[in-house]
């Protein structure tokens, strides 16, 4: 997605440890018009899939999930980060390991909002090791929902998450695919 790649080059900041900071337009400050274009793009890419719900994780997944929901006209469900003490029988809960923070967190979704009749499109802002997406797939599985696909705004292709998703047979679409950060520069897959 050209306007997204252009924006990453223009406003993204590279930090040590292969961290790409895009908080000026994606996950702290949000450009709503870019976000709407992102929803439209996911609309095109998953147009053949049956989708009854969009599933994401708070907080930074909510914006791209919502604009995708605006295109498909289906409810958007965001998994909440559980408090350590919370044990709730009314929720589907799973663990998500964060490589960045080296901690395991839990996320949950109220059982009311996912069922065996659902076919969910998982949307998230970033894909690196894929732990968040694995967690969301786990929650969909616990609800016996079908996973119609996985839509990612920015994919770091070299950290294993995308390979796992594709190897496990899921339809993955990423709008910007980063090949590497050689010479402290963002290089996208397929560029000269």
Binding site for a copy of itself (CB under 8 A): 23-25, 28-33, 35-36, 58-59, 62-63, 66-67, 69-70, 73-78, 80, 109-110, 112-113
Question: What is the smallest separation between the CB atom of 54 and a copy of itself, expressed in angstroms?
Answer: 8
DSSP string, 151-163: EEEEEEGGGSHHH
Q: How far is Cα 177 from Cα 168, in angstroms, rounded to an integer?
A: 19
Closer Cβ to a copy of itself, 24 or 180, answer by number: 24
Closer Cβ to a copy of itself, 142 or 164, answer by number: 142
Helix, strand, or coil here: 134?
helix
Tokens 């450009």 correspond to 31
Question: What is the smallest separation between the CB atom of 138 and a copy of itself, expressed in angstroms?
Answer: 18
Question: What is the smallest separation between the CB atom of 127 and a copy of itself, expressed in angstroms?
Answer: 20
Residue 152 φ/ψ region, left for φ over 0, alpha for ψ in the -120 to 50 degree band, beta for the rest: beta
On whether 20 is known to bind a ligand per the annotation, the reply is: yes
Closer Cβ to a copy of itself, 58 or 117, answer by number: 58
Nearest by Cα to 22 from 32, 39, 7, 41: 7
On whether 176 is known to bind a ligand per the annotation, the reply is: no
Closer Cβ to a copy of itself, 8 or 76, answer by number: 76
Question: What is the smallest separation between the CB atom of 22 and a copy of itself, expressed in angstroms?
Answer: 12
- Going by C-beta distance under 8 Å and a sequence separation of 6 or more, which residues neighbour residue 55? 65, 77, 78, 79, 109, 114, 120, 121, 122, 123, 136, 139, 140
- Per the annotation, binding residues for 5-phospho-alpha-D-ribose 1-diphosphate are 128-132
Which residues contribute to the annotated binding site for xanthine?
20, 27, 156
Residues annotated as binding site? 20, 27, 128-132, 156
């Amino acid at each position: 997605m050209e306007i997204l790649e252009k924006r990453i080059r223009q406003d993204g900041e590279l930090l040590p440890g292969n961290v790409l900071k895009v908080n000026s337009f994606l996950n702290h400050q949000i450009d709503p018009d870019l976000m709407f274009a992102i929803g439209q793009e996911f609309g095109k890419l998953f147009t053949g899939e049956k989708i009854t719900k969009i599933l994401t994780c708070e907080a930074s997944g909510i914006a791209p999930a919502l604009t995708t929901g605006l295109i498909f006209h289906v409810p958007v469900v965001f998994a909440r980060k559980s408090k350590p003490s919370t044990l709730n029988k009314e929720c589907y809960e799973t663990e998500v390991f964060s490589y960045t923070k080296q901690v395991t967190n839990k996320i949950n979704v109220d059982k009311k909002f996912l069922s065996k009749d659902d076919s969910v499109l998982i949307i998230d802002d970033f894909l690196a090791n894929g732990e968040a997406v694995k967690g969301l797939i786990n929650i969909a599985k616990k609800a016996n929902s079908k996973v119609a696909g996985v839509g990612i705004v920015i994919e770091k292709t070299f950290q294993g998450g995308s390979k796992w998703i594709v190897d496990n047979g899921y339809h993955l679409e990423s709008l910007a695919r980063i090949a590497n950060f050689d010479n402290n520069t963002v290089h996208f897959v397929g560029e000269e």
